[in-house]
Homo-oligomer: A and B are copies of this chain.
Amino acid sequence: MNQTIETILNHRSIRKFKDEALTKEQIHTIVKAAQQASTSSNVMAYTIIGITDNALKEELYKVSGHSHVKNNAHLYMFCGDLHRIYQLANADEKVTIADNLESTEQFIVATIDATLAAQNAALAAESMGLGICYIGSLRNDINRVNELLELPEHVIPLFGLVVGYPDHQPDIKPRLPLEAIYHENKYSPFHEQQKHIEAYDNEMKQYYETRSSNTKIDTWSDQMLRKFSEPTRMDVTPFVKQKGFNKK
């Protein structure tokens, strides 16, 4: 097994960091790694915002509710960005692009581009001995994050990525069996996936009962049912449209 695959398979989300800063070079190496990811037709439909202002970090922490959003060596915010393209077109009288730019297709492109870049950043950081955690909880109040980062039209915050030197070593969380996630030539009906989900529920029950911290009695299926029973972040829908994404 090579070092890259080892790094990939050794991933666990890190939520406690040592009080040790990153160098500017480390911060930029991670961004350069992000930029080298594939991007749809070279659009590069994303922007990364590094948060160095502690007052701003505090405000972002209030949206997320997770202390690792303020206690980390660096916080990167990943945004879907079609503003650049829109402005280029605005400067050219012959070009009208709004219908195309504001389609669901381009919303997908921006989300994928930002995420490909982010996973490169995450792995670059992990390969340097740093720990990472994605912060989807910044979408708990996406309007507030939008305001804090002063995002113009056609730019939306998607998620954060916190980075730093790990101060704990959580167990690696098991995933659904390969057979549930990986199908051949066509989608395997749910009834064929069920036995793998049951096996995973048993594995997760054991994992939660015996892991090194925060033990509990739970299964994946129960977690999912609880999670999806409560409508959450329903304001993301109008927000995204209001910013000029996913409208047409």
Residues of A within 8 A of B (CB): 2-5, 7-9, 11, 13, 28-29, 31-38, 40-44, 46-53, 56, 79, 83-85, 87-89, 92, 95-97, 99-101, 103-105, 108-109, 111-112, 115-116, 118-120, 122-124, 126-128, 132-134, 136, 139, 148-152, 155, 158-159, 172-173, 175-176, 178, 180-187, 189-190, 193, 197, 220-221, 223-225, 227-234, 236-237, 240, 246, 248
Residue pair A181, B46 in contact (C-beta under 8 Å): yes
Q: Please measure, in the bound complex, the distance between the C-alpha atom of A116 and the C-alpha atom of B78, giving whole angstroms.
A: 13
A161 to chain B, nearest CB (A): 9
Residue pair A197, B32 in contact (C-beta under 8 Å): no
Identify A8's interface contact among B33, B97, B181, CB under 8 A.
B33
Residue pair A104, B149 in contact (C-beta under 8 Å): no
Q: Please measure, in the bound complex, the distance between the C-alpha atom of A2 and the C-alpha atom of B233, giving whole angstroms.
A: 39
Which B residue sits closest to A230, measured CB to CB? B100
Q: Please measure, in the bound complex, the distance between the C-alpha atom of A94 and the C-alpha atom of B47, giving whole angstroms.
A: 42
Q: Please measure, in the bound complex, the distance between the C-alpha atom of A123 and the C-alpha atom of B94, giving whole angstroms.
A: 40
Instruction: Report B-chain residues with C-beta under 8 Å of the C-beta of A111.
Output: 108, 111-112, 115
Residue pair A50, B182 in contact (C-beta under 8 Å): yes
Residue pair A237, B175 in contact (C-beta under 8 Å): no
Residue pair A181, B47 in contact (C-beta under 8 Å): yes
Residue pair B32, A9 in contact (C-beta under 8 Å): yes
Instruction: Report B-chain residues with C-beta under 8 Å of the C-beta of A185.
Output: 49-53, 56, 149
Q: Please measure, in the bound complex, the distance between the C-alpha atom of A27 and the C-alpha atom of B115, giving whole angstroms.
A: 23
Instruction: Report B-chain residues with C-beta under 8 Å of the C-beta of A152.
Output: 187, 189-190
Residue pair B237, A104 in contact (C-beta under 8 Å): yes
Given A50-B185, A79-B187, 18 more pairs with CB closer than 8 A: A3-B127, A5-B29, A8-B33, A8-B120, A11-B36, A31-B181, A32-B178, A35-B175, A38-B134, A40-B134, A41-B223, A88-B224, A89-B224, A89-B228, A89-B229, A112-B115, A112-B158, A116-B134
Instruction: Given A31-B181, A134-B38, A150-B187, decide whether A225 and B49 contact each other with a Cβ distance below 8 A.
Output: no
